[in-house]
Amino acid sequence: MSTEYTSSLSNTPPPGLVEAQHIAVAAAEQTVATACAGESEQAVFDHLEAYARSLGAVDFWTPTIVGFGPGSLSCFPTDRPSDRPLWDLDIGHVDVHPVTADGWWGDCTRSIVTGAHPRHHELLKTVTDIHNEVLSSLKPGMRACDAFAIFETLLDNTPYRLLDRLENIGHSLDRGDSYSNGYLNRWNNTVMTGAWAFEPFIGTHLYGGKVEDVVWFGPDSCTILR
């Protein structure tokens, strides 16, 4: 964590982090709301980054990810958008990482569901419910592995599996830095302070669903940045 606020960690999230996350959430949610069947991953990618820049993003700290259909099974920085179109019965996601003018980093993922395929809607509801339940269980002083254990217990009561190839549901986040305090997995005993991105990614062998928000861990409270 940067020395700028380590020594005086506040219950109030830094304004720069709030701004970065506002850009990330607004860009992801606007893109999901306006994506239409027939649009390609590349077209949605272009729209997403342009909209994030219109909100104040000056760059992106890791590649923006857009995946539809088979592309919904992976959400990794090496995944590049393609000409694959969004079908009229489909599921996918966008994951955007804006950088503000003063160097703060944001991170948000939202899933897209088109049409009335019941399995797609069931998956999106399940991952959203798990995400919200994990977030509501967070407390100051909690370790990363404790948060993962809550997620894993909830996942065990579903037909889905964890799709993240590094077996985690998130990571630490900082101004100009990410991952320095590790991942939200079963092995990380780090006590969470400052900003952490929570991003459960679950599904079947056919498709996946993902949602992501950033949480600020102060000394006495946790704040979800939405």
pTM over 0.85? The answer is: yes
Q: Tens of pLDDT along the chain (226 residues)?
A: 443 444 469 999 999 999 999 999 999 999 999 999 999 999 999 999 999 999 999 999 999 999 999 999 999 999 999 999 999 999 999 999 999 999 999 999 999 999 999 999 999 999 999 999 999 999 999 999 999 999 999 999 999 999 999 999 999 999 999 999 999 999 999 999 999 999 999 999 999 999 999 999 999 999 999 9
How are strands ordered across the β-sheet holding 108-114? 65-68, 90-96, 108-114
| CA atoms 83, 88, 89, 95: torsion sign | positive
- Asked if 95 and 75 touch (Cβ cutoff 8 Å), the reply is yes
Residue whose C-alpha is closest to residue 169's, from 205, 137, 121, 122: 137
- Which pLDDT score, from 0 to 100, does residue 7 have? 42
Instruction: Dig out the tokens for 155 from the structure.
Output: 């996942």
